[in-house]
Amino acid sequence: MVDQSVNISRESRVNGLEELRNHMAPGALYNSAERFDPPKCDEDTRVHLLEELMDWVKDRFVARRILCMTGPAGSGKSALQQTTIEGSANDGTLLAAFFFFAGDGNRNLLDPLIPTIAYQIAQRITEASEPIILAVERNPTIFKLKMEAQAESLIVEPLRQAMSSSISTASWPRTIFIDGIDECRGEESQSRLLSVVKGITLAFSDTDFRIKFLLSSRPEYAMRTAISPKGVFGKSEDLLYRIELSKYDATSDIRLFLQRHLREIGNNSDYPLPSKGSWPSDEDIETLVANASGQFIYASTIVKYLSDRRRSPVKHLQIILSWRPGVLQKERPFALLDTLYTNIYVAAQATYSASRDIDDPQTIVRYIRMLQIVEEQAGVIARIRSLEKLMLLDQGELDIVVSDLHSIVKSLRDNDNDRFLQLRFYHKSISDFLEDPSRSGPLFVSSHLAALEWFSRSTAWIEQANSTAIRSLGQLGLGVNPYEDEASGADLGTAVDIWNHCANTFWHRYTLTPESELRFLAVLVRTTSRFWENIRLACIADKRGSVTSGGIVASFLALRAIENIDVLDKRGSVKPRALQELLRKLKNRRYLPKPTYANILNDSDWDL
C-alpha cells in the first residue's frame, strides 16, 4: 500500500509539472530558441544605465521594489532588459523572465504569464517546486481562474511555504523581469497585469524574501496611468523606481555602435571602398547619429540593411544618406522602422475606431498631419481648443487621439502653457515616415490633402464669423490678446492664420488648371468680401472706425482693395468677368507669383 501511494504521488507530480508546461509560453523565456539572437546592448554602450539596473537587481534590501523602465519606440528597452537578465542569470539573481511580443499569439496574452513565471520559480528555488506542482494537482482548473487567483496559488503561497521550510532565503534569486508590457493585447489586460505585480510585491513586504519586478514598456496608457500620482504604483511611491529612457542621452552610445559595426562591415566587405579602414567617414557617421535622434532602432536598422553581403555597403549607405521623403526609391532601407511605426498607428487607430464607431482607417494619421501643417508649416500659435472647434471635435478629443501614440509622440501641448499646441515627435524618422507614401503606404495622407481640409474648414468658419468674434479679434489693436482667453476671437484668429497659410500654399506651390484656378480665386474673393462686409458691419455696430490692427486681416483686404474691382453681384455671387479681370491684374502685378509645380488639384477637390 505504501509503495502504491508513493507511485501514485510520483505520477501525479509528473502530471502537475506537465500541466504547468502545457500552459506556459516557452518562447517568452529570455534564452528561448524562438528569440534567437535577441537584441542586446553593444559592448561599452549604455554603460551607466546597465550599472544602474544591475545595482538595483543586486540590492537585496532595496525599498523601491518595482522598477518601471519606460521609453519611446526604438529606444532600446528590450536590449537593456536582455542584457540585464543575462547578467542577472550569471550572478544568480534571476528568478523569472517573460518577454511579451505582439506578433506571437502565445506571447501577446496574459494567459501564459503566471504559469511561465511559476515554472521558472520551480526551477530556480528547489523548496518552491513541490508546492507549485501540488497546487496544480489539487486544482487542475487553476489555469481557468482569474489572474489574481493564479498568482496567489502558483507564486505567493508556494513561496511562503518554501520560506517556512528553509533555513535562509539569502541565496534565493528574487527579481522577476517582464518586458514589452505594451505588447500585451488590450489595455485592461495590461492594467490587470500591473495590479497583480503590485499585489505579489506587497505580499512579501513583511518577509526577508523581498521579491522585485523589473518592468519595461512604451509609455502607453496602462503604464502611464500606473506610474501617475494616482495610479496603482504612484499611490505607493515607496515601491516605485522609475527610469525614463527619453531623459538619457544615447548620442555617444549610438555613435560608438555605428562606428564599430559599420567599419566592421567595411573591413569584411568584398566590394571596393573609398579607403579601407576609414569607411564610413566621420561626417557620414555624424549624419546618421543626427538622423537617429537618440533612437537605437534606427542605428540597428542601418547596420542590418548594410550587413547584406550581396550589397555594396558604400552604394547603399549613399542611398540612406541621400534619401528624401516623397522621392521614389527602389530600395527600402527603413523597412524595419516602417513596420514598427505602421503597427503603432494601426493599433492606435483600431482602439480609437472601436471607441468612436468609425470606419476610416486614416483618421488618426489625418489629424496628426493637420496638426503638423498648423505648427511646422504655417507656424501658427494655436490654442488646442480652437483647433478642436475648427476640426469639429469635442473638447479634449485631440488628447484622446494621441493617447495611444505616446511611444512616438513626445508632446501635444506646450510645456509652458498647456492650452497651446506643441506637437513634438521623439524621432525625426516619424515625420519622414508620415511624409513618404512609399513608407507609410495605406496610412499616407499628403500635405496637400491635409491643407485642403484645413482650407475648407477655415473658409466656412471665417464666412460665418459674427460681429462678436470680429470685435474680439480686433482687441489685438487695444493690447489685449484674444488668443490667451476663451473669446471667440481666438477661434477666428486661428482660422484666419490657417486660411492665410493654406491659400498661399495652394497659389505658390500648385499649378491649377484654368478652371480650378478661377474656382480657387472665387473662393478667395468670396471669403474676403464676406469677411470684409462683416468687419464693416461690426464697425458700424461698435461705432468705431476700425476693429482690426496688427495685420491680422491684411491679407483679406488686399484682394478686395486691388483696383477696387467690384467682383460680387447684388446676390453676393462672384461675377465671372470681374474674376477674370482680377486674375489678370493679379498676375500682371505679380501680387501672387505664378505657380510652377505639377497640377495636383482636380475639380472634385473644390467642393467647398
Residues 412 and 494 in one domain: no
In a domain? residue 539: yes
CA distance 181 to 199: 17
pLDDT category, 340, cuts 50, 70, 90?
Answer: very high
Residues 522 and 378 in one domain: no
The residue-averaged pLDDT of 567-592 equals 56
Highest mean pLDDT, choosing among 157-166, 272-281, 552-561: 157-166
pTM (two decimals)? 0.80
Domain boundary among 295, 322, 349: 322
In a domain? residue 407: yes
Residues 284 and 270 in one domain: yes
What does the DSSP 8-state code read for residue 215? E
Q: Which pairing describes strands 409-413 and 94-99: parallel, antiparallel, or unpaired?
A: unpaired
DSSP bridge partners of 179: 99, 216
Domain boundary among 220, 247, 274: 247
Instruction: Return the higher-pLDDT residue of 123 and 267.
Output: 123
In a domain? residue 498: yes
In a domain? residue 151: yes
In a domain? residue 349: no
pLDDT at 18: 92
- Whether the pLDDT of residue 103 is over 80: the answer is yes
Residues 491 and 417 in one domain: no
pLDDT at 571: 61
CATH number for the domain harbouring residue 178:
3.40.50.300
Residue whose C-alpha cell reads 467690384 in the numeric block: 566
- Closest among 20, 102, 87, 8 to 55, alpha carbons compared: 87
Three-state DSSP class for residue 155: helix
DSSP 110-146: STTHHHHHHHHHHHH-HHHHHHHHHHHHH-GGGGGS-
Q: How many domains does the chain have?
A: 4
- Whether the pLDDT of residue 552 is over 70: the answer is no
Residues 287 and 402 in one domain: no
Residues 149 and 283 in one domain: no
The pLDDT tens digits of the residues spanning 393-436 come to 999 999 999 999 999 999 999 988 899 999 999 988 899 999 99
pLDDT at 548: 40
Residues 241 and 255 in one domain: no
In a domain? residue 541: yes
Residues 90 and 147 in one domain: yes
Determine the length of the chain: 608
Residues 90 and 233 in one domain: yes
pLDDT at 341: 94
pLDDT category, 603, cuts 50, 70, 90?
Answer: very low
In a domain? residue 366: yes
Residues with Cβ within 8 Å of 560's Cβ and at least 6 positions away in sequence, in order, are: 525, 528, 529, 532
The pLDDT tens digits of the residues spanning 285-302 come to 999 999 998 889 999 999
pLDDT at 551: 35
Domain boundary among 247, 280, 311: 247
Highest mean pLDDT, choosing among 29-43, 76-90, 349-363: 76-90
Residues 137 and 46 in one domain: yes
Q: In Å, how far are 15, 27, 497, 535, 542 from 466, measured between CA atoms? A: 78, 64, 17, 9, 13
CB 4 within 8 A of CB 121: no
The pLDDT tens digits of the residues spanning 462-512 come to 888 777 777 776 554 333 444 454 456 778 888 888 887 887 777 666 666
Residues 452 and 551 in one domain: yes
In a domain? residue 242: yes
Residues 468 and 592 in one domain: yes
Q: How many CA atoms lie within 13 A of 415 on its CB side?
A: 3
Domain that holds residue 173: 2-247
Residue whose C-alpha cell reads 493654406 in the numeric block: 502
